[in-house]
Chains A and B, each alone.
Chain A
């Protein structure tokens, strides 16, 4: 059996949409017991987000939900009821972590703000992921990943100088906030094991995204410069761009950071004399003559398939990468040899492929432990096995409408 890095740790997980669930996905794949508190009356909106395995968009068939909620358990509880709150209280008392990504008002409304969590379990690590955190003037502002990306300054730096700024093609601050939360959580759990002390991790997703703006802030505070978006160009290196390849809308990225790499590129494209050409011999002149250089390179790349361009240039020691579609990525020989894409069976959608764990740990590799649970799939298991309830007690709760 594979070893789990986070075996023996348990999380009561109130999170939904993308940021919190992505954090939980990382923790669950490394073996933490993730107990997702759900409710039919107020379902995670992503359970209704595409792609769906079936055209009728039936429940439990969303690939979006299923990928980020694998390796978790689901219990259905009507969180508004007193009995449900008692169950949640008992679960928190026997857990190491409480995770949520509601607005800053959310947990108080549920009756589980940090003060209450501490009463229940003084060793608890609590991670909140409100859009702007729980402190400061914007703490009650509503915020989702795609607009946090704007607010955080990443949108303004993405896209073309002659056009409007662009969102990254994914809800990026959610993912970045999710992994940032996962890092913070394991660090706090480690300290809690050493000292017996838990704490509150107050993570503001917008803030964790601002922290990824490279040197934008320091350039402004030291030099007074306001960094501008620059398409696919690099302000300090040339060539650095994506180049058209044969076929429709096919491209290959190429980036060269030194004169010797440029000499290799020049040779690989059959024009070794470019390395001696005064226009291109040095990085500074290559930047000045970027357009002419990009045209020369494009004429060469346009003859070949994007994979072909990549392999020819990498063989010559030049950083090059085909712009892969999601389909090409899944079928890619390297990705296959790494075993990054994992296949698993799900009771409703059947066998499907999913991205696995994006790093390999030699002792505790991490893997998809179980398919994403159907809504409430583990209610009985949790009530029985964790809380020791009898069939009669569970039936009574069900009859009272608590387990919806």
Chain B
């Protein structure tokens, strides 16, 4: 284990970092994944029966089982699995031993649950003052909602995002693909990486308290300021951007396109793409406020033009006209996209049960330390023996621990 870490440290961002991963929701797992993708050794600590994430679908070929969850596989590649029943004293001692040599611990347990086991920040900090501990919850570690139960839709709602998302004639709409959890995970990763930098310089770790509700609210662009500056509470308004136009989703022959024009020449490109040459030359397009105010009247003209073509054709043709346009991609479009495939956005993984498959790799390209996909998600307890040997436990003790239901 130590050798692996050293050999990879020369070429990866986090090759010197050991992360103990006590997470099982996307808001936690995606955070530790970001460290694993860039070289950290991540030890996922699972209960004996496996992480709850192993029980969540979708499953490979619809076959339910602890090793076939695609949800688990997606969020836990590059990680090692250690089973540990933390409700037993001996298991907690083992975790504390691991904390001695760890750099980071990330957890998404309910507020106070780790403290109750003697594994709170104060205890762990006493063992290893250099440890960075990151606690990710729906509402943070303090305040009247600290004990609230959470989920993606609850965070979308309480963070103010749901109230401004979706069509006017529908109820407030949840973000697709669990964005409240993802945006939380990324802020947690940023704060954790920052704390590691600070620790390197000051030789001291710290505790980070991440609130999903606040992370969601932090990305409302200008909606909160609309309230604090003008007193206006924004309502959901479909896909139309409140300021820029055309900046929305339009139907086309085989699906939808997304467009966002902010400058006159881009709007002209949008009109040319619709083959509406009168509109392209109309001076109204050159004023950002005037054209936005006439959106109702002008949009049908654009749509009439776009309905003649497919999304892929409009995408490439529109870009050639200088129009910021994208197609509304589905999973197939993404997996087969020439750009994504050419820049190494995907990687091939080989999993003993799921088999070979392609999935998203590390999305950001670093010229000196690109992300490295080392392994598919671990089998349950796959690395238990290896990890326990590394903290000095022998075969005999391991078999005791197994019999006692500790590992």
Which residues of A come within 8 Å of B, CB atoms? 5-6, 17-18, 22, 26, 30, 45, 48-53, 63-64, 66-67, 131-133, 135-138, 141-160, 163-172, 174-176, 179-184, 186-191, 193-194, 197, 199-204, 206-208, 210-223, 225-227, 229, 231-232, 234-236, 240-242, 244, 249, 251-253, 255, 257, 261, 314, 317-327, 329-330, 333-335, 337-338, 340, 349, 352-355, 358-364
Contacts and interface: CB of A to CB of B under 8 A. Distances in A.
Contacts of A174: 221
A154 B217 contact: no
Contact of B157 (A64, A160, A223, A322): A322
A307 B90 CA distance: 43
A251 B157 contact: yes
Contacts of B242: 50
If over half of A's interface residues share one DSSP class (helix, strand or loop), that class is named, otherwise mixed; here it is: mixed
14 contacts: A49-B243, A142-B319, A147-B247, A153-B331, A153-B333, A155-B258, A158-B173, A167-B238, A201-B364, A204-B343, A215-B58, A251-B172, A321-B150, A355-B220
B249 A155 contact: yes
Given A147-B259, A191-B369, A213-B177, A183 B34 contact: yes
B198 A169 contact: no
Nearest to B141: A360
B144 interface: yes
Given A236-B56, A358-B187, A164 B256 contact: yes
Interface stretch (B206-214, B277-285, B382-390, B391-399): B206-214
B331 A170 contact: no
Contact of B221 (A175, A201, A255, A340): A175
A211 B363 contact: yes
Given A187-B14, A212-B177, A251-B171, A323 B197 contact: no
A326 B233 contact: yes
Contacts of B225: 51, 63-64, 66-67, 352, 354
B187 A363 contact: no
B403 interface: no
Contacts of B231: 327
A62 to B, nearest CB: 8
Contacts of B257: 150
Contacts of A183: 34, 186, 189-190, 193
B365 A150 contact: no
B10 to A, nearest CB: 9
A151 B182 CA distance: 18
By Cβ-Cβ distance, the 7 closest A-B pairs, closest first, are: A150-B258, A157-B176, A151-B326, A63-B225, A169-B164, A321-B154, A175-B219
Interface stretch (B43-51, B70-78, B80-88): B70-78
Contact of A156 (B38, B173, B330): B330
A334 B144 contact: yes
If over half of B's interface residues share one DSSP class (helix, strand or loop), that class is named, otherwise mixed; here it is: mixed
Q: Which of B73, B139, B263, B366 has the most CB of A within 10 A?
A: B366
B148 interface: yes
Given A187-B13, A321-B155, A210 B360 contact: yes
B343 A135 contact: yes
Contacts of A137: 338-339, 342
Nearest to A326: B227
B238 to A, nearest CB: 7
Given A158-B175, A186-B190, A334-B139, A138 B339 contact: yes
Contacts of B238: 166-167
Given A50-B242, A211-B360, A214-B26, A361 B176 contact: no
Interface stretch (B92-100, B111-119, B294-302, B351-359): B351-359
Contacts of B330: 153, 156, 216, 226-227
A320 B167 CA distance: 22
A172 B322 contact: no
B304 interface: no
A216 B242 CA distance: 29
Given A30-B194, A324-B160, A150 B61 contact: no
A159 B173 contact: yes
B345 A210 contact: yes
B159 interface: yes
A215 B251 CA distance: 25
Interface residues of B, number: 157
B59 to A, nearest CB: 8
A186 B192 CA distance: 10
Q: Which of A136, A141, A143, A358 has the most CB of B within 10 A?
A: A358
A121 to B, nearest CB: 15
A253 B60 CA distance: 30
Given A188-B13, A338-B143, A321 B229 contact: no
Contacts of A335: 143, 213-214, 217
A208 B355 CA distance: 26
B314 to A, nearest CB: 11
B350 interface: no
Contacts of A148: 258, 326
B158 interface: yes
Contact of B214 (A150, A190, A257, A338): A338
A49 B292 CA distance: 13
Interface string B10-27: 000110100000000010
B253 interface: no
B74 A53 contact: no
B329 A226 contact: no
Interface string B34-69: 100010000000000000000011101110000000
Interface in B222-250: 222-239, 241-244, 247-249
A136 B256 CA distance: 24
B102 interface: no
Nearest to A194: B200
A311 to B, nearest CB: 10
B171 A167 contact: no
Contacts of B106: none
B173 A363 contact: no
A146 B241 contact: yes
A166 B162 contact: no
A167 B219 contact: no
A240 B153 CA distance: 8
B161 interface: yes
Nearest to A202: B365
A158 B170 CA distance: 12
B58 A326 contact: no
A143 B262 CA distance: 11
B140 to A, nearest CB: 6
A164 B256 CA distance: 8
B153 A321 contact: yes
A382 to B, nearest CB: 25
A159 B175 CA distance: 8
Contacts of B286: none
B193 A186 contact: yes
A160 B158 CA distance: 21
B60 A326 contact: no
A162 to B, nearest CB: 10
A146 B166 contact: no
Contacts of B288: 48
B163 to A, nearest CB: 5
A158 B368 contact: no
Contacts of B359: 217-218, 221
